[in-house]
Chain A
Amino acid sequence: MQYLLMLYADESGWTRMTPEEQTRGMEAYRAYTEALQSSGAYVGGNRLRPSGTATRVRANNDKTQVLDGPFSDSKEQLGGYYLIEAPDLDSALSWAARCPGAHHGTVEVRALWT
């Protein structure tokens, strides 16, 4: 079964970090990706550009609207994702708990439809 781990965090946290902390943060993600890959759980994943760069598109009543900014203005923004293969929700949750993103934000775990 495939699960999408959506990494939400307060984006401003990153800019407040020292360069050393940022390097360590990147390294932690690299190691996490490496662990996912060597266990065979890794399907895909990436980091997203800041939510300020987001654009929303909506087509209502034959009228297409294009709006600036992310879908919801919450304190934590979607900043990246991992797509993983896991036998069940429990093991997906244990990968989520190991994700560095769980420590500076929230990881939402969703099963793929098929």
Chain B
Amino acid sequence: MHSQAHEKPAHLLIETVARRSYGKLLAFVATRTHDLAAAEDALSDAFTAALIDWPRTGCPANPEGWLLTVARRKSIDYHRRRDANAESLDERIEQALSAAVPESDIPDRRLALMFACAHPAIDESICAPLLLQIILGLDAATIASAFLVSPAAMSKRLVRAKEKIRTCRIRFSLPEREELPERLYAVLDAIYAAFAEGWADPAGTDPARRPLTGEAIFLARVVTELMPQEPEPLGLLALMLYAEARRSARRASTGEYVPLPQQNTALWDLTMIAEAEVVLQHASGLGRIGRYQLEAAIQSAHVDRIRNRRPNWDQIIQLYDALFELTQSPVVALNRALAISELHGPEAGLREMPDVSSDARLAGYQAFWAARADLLARVGYHGKARHAYDLAIGLERDASVRLFLQQRQAALHS
């Protein structure tokens, strides 16, 4: 029958459009009204209408334009209903929503929307979830699992953040030049937070988390395309590509955790690494160094293993020095100490380790205890190493990393 012939391609197209253009459509509908929740409803109605119409009547030539037209109509209906008592709907809103847009050329306002989501008035911890929902259309339950938050609480926080954007009329616009660097970092940090949550599931066994690394890379690409002159978005993109390129090497075929030094470089994705190198070079060509470029450069020095069989530790230590200058982060200090131990031995590494009393966050940081345990074991302090392993194991979320640490611990002499 007619409808069956259309069904499959229609669903496929709707999925593709949702993936490619969700944020663009939402940004366009919400820009004037500032009402993200209403725009989401309107857009969701439009997608529902497409799911009913397209399989029956065939796919429109311009699917985005079709969806936008329906979403705008729904949005106007919604605002009319809500403001039924008011004399008329704000004319500017009505005009903006119904104004004809060249259908093939929907202006891309995603960047402005991202800046609104990462506005200082919005709670920092909700920025990454908000970006995932607003730009990519992920649902609250998926986001909640990824960030280890209860779905009800995540939903509530997302609603509250959108409400704040609407009631405070946070502008959907690019920040002024002087506040751009700081505001841009808020956007980039949120993207990186989303990546890190996906990265925490290296085996890719958790379907709720695995796509997050890909989604974060997609978001970074959007920012680099819309702000081609800014080096740090490129730095972030390169950093994530280097990391993602090693995904399949992080687990043995039998599922065991494989630490970076033991990874089989043949499993690294060379195409992705090559892209990362090009992106990073392009970033440094713009002549303004920043922490994401430094972090990406460290990854690049690790990748030297492909060419010279060992990472470039001298360079890695220098880069960590620069990064520590910039961030004063105990995590950077920890990684710097590990790099030093590679070059000058475990005693030197232990001496450079940040002190757990210097920063309370370290006490609950799994990687700190795992690194400390390893260095202590290599120096021969097996009792202290055993205790550090206990904490590293107890703080670990990933079962195969836990198993790896348990094996290391069991290998200690008693």
Contact = CB atoms under 8 A, between A and B. Distances in A.
Interface residues of A, number: 20
Given A24-B403, A103-B399, A97 B148 contact: yes
A91 to B, nearest CB: 9
Q: Provide the main secondary structure of the chain B interface.
A: helix
Contacts of B394: 31-36, 98
A28 interface: yes
Nearest to A94: B148
B364 A39 contact: yes
A24 B403 CA distance: 8
A93 B150 contact: yes
Contacts of A34: 387, 390-391, 394
A95 to B, nearest CB: 9
Q: Which of B149, B363, B390, B406 has the most CB of A within 10 A?
A: B390
Contacts of A94: 148, 397
Contacts of A90: 148-149, 153
A33 B391 CA distance: 9
A32 B394 CA distance: 4
A97 B370 CA distance: 18
Interface in B378-393: 387, 389-393
Contacts of B153: 89-90
A38 interface: yes
Contact of B396 (A27, A36, A89, A98): A98
Nearest to A102: B397
A30 B394 CA distance: 8
B363 A38 contact: yes
Interface in A1-52: 24, 27-28, 30-36, 38-39
Contact of B391 (A35, A97, A100): A35
A31 B397 contact: no
A87 to B, nearest CB: 12
Nearest to A96: B148
Interface residues of B, number: 21
Interface string B347-384: 00000000000000001100000000000000000000
Contacts of B149: 89-90, 93
Contacts of B392: 31
Interface string A58-97: 0000000000000000000000000000000110011001
Contacts of B399: 100, 103
Contact of A31 (B148, B363, B364, B389): B389
A98 B148 contact: no
B406 A24 contact: yes
A27 B396 CA distance: 13
B402 interface: yes
B395 interface: yes
Contacts of A98: 394-397
Contacts of A38: 363, 391
Contact of A35 (B148, B390, B403, B409): B390
Contacts of B409: 27
12 contacts: A24-B406, A28-B406, A31-B389, A31-B390, A32-B393, A33-B394, A34-B391, A35-B390, A35-B393, A90-B148, A98-B394, A103-B399
